[in-house]
Amino acid sequence: MTKKSVAIIGSATIDEIIQGAERTRQLGGVVTYAGLTFRRYGIDTLVVTNVAEKDRAVLDVLSREDVRLFTGSSSRTTCFVNRVEGDTRTQELHQVAEPIRRKQIEGALKGLFHVHIGALHPDDIDPRVFECIRTAGLFASADIQGYVRFSDKGRVIQRVSERAEIVLRLVSVLKADEGELQALMSFFGVDAAKLIRQFEIEELLVTAGSRGGYLLTKEEEIIPYQARIVQDPRSIIGAGDVFFAAYLAERYYCRRDIRTSLDGASDLAARQVEGHYIPPEVLALREGT
């Protein structure tokens, strides 16, 4: 592995997506969308995830694009139902894989530059994994989504986990959408500027769907960005993961400035919404897989 290398840690999922009258099943999760995005930037990419043995074939799409897989044992695969209407998504969490354990990643971290945390719920990754990452002194980024979610009898609602603090203290770059950031600020009793100071975060990337968003630096500079106009949107699923991975690739691998990196990431996210970047057909799963 080299300085152009990343490990993405989190559940690969079997997603049922309901949009209008259309219902589809496809591979999902941060590890999928971010993994393919990093790899398409020419970055040496590995994924640490757990799926059931009977579902291992769902990961073939990652293998075909030369994403290296470190898969652990689990009796189940994480499964979400996503109901999409415009920019809005509601979710149900029907089952979860075994947590990703420290012993799974110890061999994977050697020689890495970067770890990208893609937990989808608070128990997705054993907290001892984060101790291992900290000890290794790796550059770390995270989408906080998994730590502001709670499954209430299968229905996903917003609630901040106490484990969020562990992640916040680890990462240099954090992504949150507007609602997730508001939940974090309320939980810790701080505003956004104090949040990144308290946890020594270098950059906070805040997304607002089709309205764009902004990046807040540790110097408290706010850099807004515009979402690209999509004339014929197909699906918002995966767009946020693609956007964040593309931003990290542009900024920390291609060494572009913040504004240029945000623009490049916005372009790629728009292509994802249009269905032209990682098309649903590429990730589609047949019944029984």
Q: Collect contacts of 205-208 with beta carbons under 8 A, ≥24 apart.
A: 205/173, 205/174, 205/175, 205/176, 205/244, 205/247, 206/175, 206/176, 206/177, 206/178, 206/181, 207/175, 207/176, 207/177, 207/178, 207/240, 207/243, 208/177, 208/178
Q: What type of residue is 130?
A: F
| 237 pLDDT more than 60 | yes
pLDDT, position 154: 78
Determine how β-strand 44-50 pairs with β-strand 5-9. parallel
How confident is the model over 22-42, as pLDDT tens digits? 888 999 999 999 999 999 999
Query: Where residue 288 falls among pLDDT bands split at 50, 70, 90?
Result: low
Instruction: Report the percentage of the chain scoring pLDDT > 70.
Output: 98
What is the reported pLDDT for 289?
Answer: 55
Q: Which CATH class is domain 5-283?
A: alpha beta
Q: Please report which confidence band the pLDDT of residue 1 belongs to, taking 50, 70 and 90 as the band edges.
A: very low
φ, ψ of residue 218 in degrees (nearest 5)? -65, -20
pLDDT at 4: 86
Contact by Cβ (8 Å): 87, 210: yes
Q: Where are the domains of the chain?
A: 5-283
pLDDT-based confidence at residue 151 (cuts at 50, 70, 90): confident
Can you tell me the mean pLDDT for 80-86?
83
The confidence band for 117, taking pLDDT boundaries of 50, 70 and 90, is: very high
Provide the whole-model pTM: 0.94
